[in-house]
């Protein structure tokens, strides 16, 4: 399946903004998920795939937890950024619907910030193919906490620019899990995760959104001006905390 145009075009040149603006993953959330997937402290003894690895944010979280993952990423610019930021990691070109791995060759597949991009049914069939019997699948999303007024004011303007780009928070991606018989039901958990950042970091976070990056320069400039106005109105200091929730979901192949 081709990569969605918004991802292919939007992520074609925003690696630096993605690295600067996107949050890391809370170590306690990562450790919790790895335990549930049965690969905690696996080292080199189990094969863990970081699917749609992007610039390597979650790849590095896995390494910090003692995992040496294989990173799969379809967008060349993101692969290049990943190689530069995370030396020594194995990186392969592939999509969720077509991975370059043999049948039953993988202990766990983890998808951070990306399953909503996939053709859910085809992706689950392909993930099931590469997993060993009773292998595990984990999903992770960092989501900004829109209960914070100033943050909701920014993301309301972001949403107004959204086109047909899929996103996690409709939970349309979960329909594939309801329909499949290849996996056990999803189990979920949520962790709080606050990201230290600054004004430029917040601008980079917004600029790294795929449909913002591929939009017109005029619309990007207007949105960035709005971000800076909201920050000024909220009287935020130069350095502040960007509040997130980290959402975890996991299941096993059956």
Domain CATH code at residue 121: 3.40.50.150
Question: Which residues, 6+ apart, have CB-to-CB distance to 208 below 8 Å?
Answer: 14, 17, 18, 20, 21, 22
Domain count, the chain: 1
Does any domain span residue 104?
yes
Does any domain span residue 23?
yes
Given a cut of 70, whether residue 119 has pLDDT beyond it is yes
Does any domain span residue 139?
yes
Residue 164: pLDDT band (50, 70, 90) is confident
CA–CA gap between residue 230 and residue 227 (Å, rounded): 5
Does any domain span residue 157?
no
Does any domain span residue 191?
yes
Report pTM. Answer: 0.91
Residue 25: pLDDT band (50, 70, 90) is very high
Given a cut of 70, whether residue 10 has pLDDT beyond it is no
- Give tens-digit pLDDT for 195-220: 999 999 999 999 988 888 888 889 99
Does any domain span residue 152?
no
Report the pLDDT value the prediction gives residue 203, as an integer from 0 to 100. 94
Does any domain span residue 183?
yes
- Give tens-digit pLDDT for 33-58: 999 999 997 566 899 999 999 999 99
Given a cut of 60, whether residue 59 has pLDDT beyond it is yes
- Give me the domain span that covers residue 80: 5-145+166-196+244-252
| Average pLDDT of the residues of the chain | 92
Residue 221 sits at the vertex; the CA angle it makes with 216 and 223, to the nearest 5 degrees, is 100
Does any domain span residue 105?
yes
Say how many C-beta atoms besides its own lie within 10 A of residue 254's C-beta.
Answer: 11
Report the pLDDT value the prediction gives residue 252, as an integer from 0 to 100. 98
């Amino acid at each position: 399946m081709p990569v969605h145009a918004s991802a292919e075009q939007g992520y074609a040149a925003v690696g630096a903004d993605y690295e600067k603006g996107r949050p890391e993953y809370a170590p306690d959330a990562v450790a919790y998920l790895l335990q549930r997937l049965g690969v905690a402290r696996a080292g080199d003894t189990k094969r863990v795939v970081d699917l749609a690895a992007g610039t390597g944010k979650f790849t590095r979280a896995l390494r910090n937890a003692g995992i040496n993952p294989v990173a799969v990423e379809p967008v060349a610019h993101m692969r290049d950024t990943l190689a530069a930021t995370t030396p020594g990691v194995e990186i392969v070109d592939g999509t969720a619907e077509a991975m370059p791995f043999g049948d039953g060759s993988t202990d766990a597949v983890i998808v951070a910030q990306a399953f909503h991009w996939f053709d859910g049914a085809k992706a689950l069939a392909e993930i099931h193919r590469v997993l060993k019997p009773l292998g595990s699948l984990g999903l992770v999303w960092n989501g900004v906490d829109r209960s914070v007024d100033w943050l909701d004011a920014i993301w309301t303007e972001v949403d107004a620019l959204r086109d047909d780009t899929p996103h996690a928070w409709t939970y349309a991606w979960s329909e594939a899990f309801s329909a499949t018989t290849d996996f056990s039901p999803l189990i979920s958990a949520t962790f709080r995760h606050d990201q230290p950042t600054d004004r430029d970091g917040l601008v980079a976070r917004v600029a790294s959104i795929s449909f913002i990056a591929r939009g017109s320069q005029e619309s990007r400039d207007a949105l960035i001006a709005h971000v800076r106005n909201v920050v000024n109105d909220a009287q935020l200091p130069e350095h502040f905390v960007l509040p997130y929730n980290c959402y975890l979901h996991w299941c096993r192949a059956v």
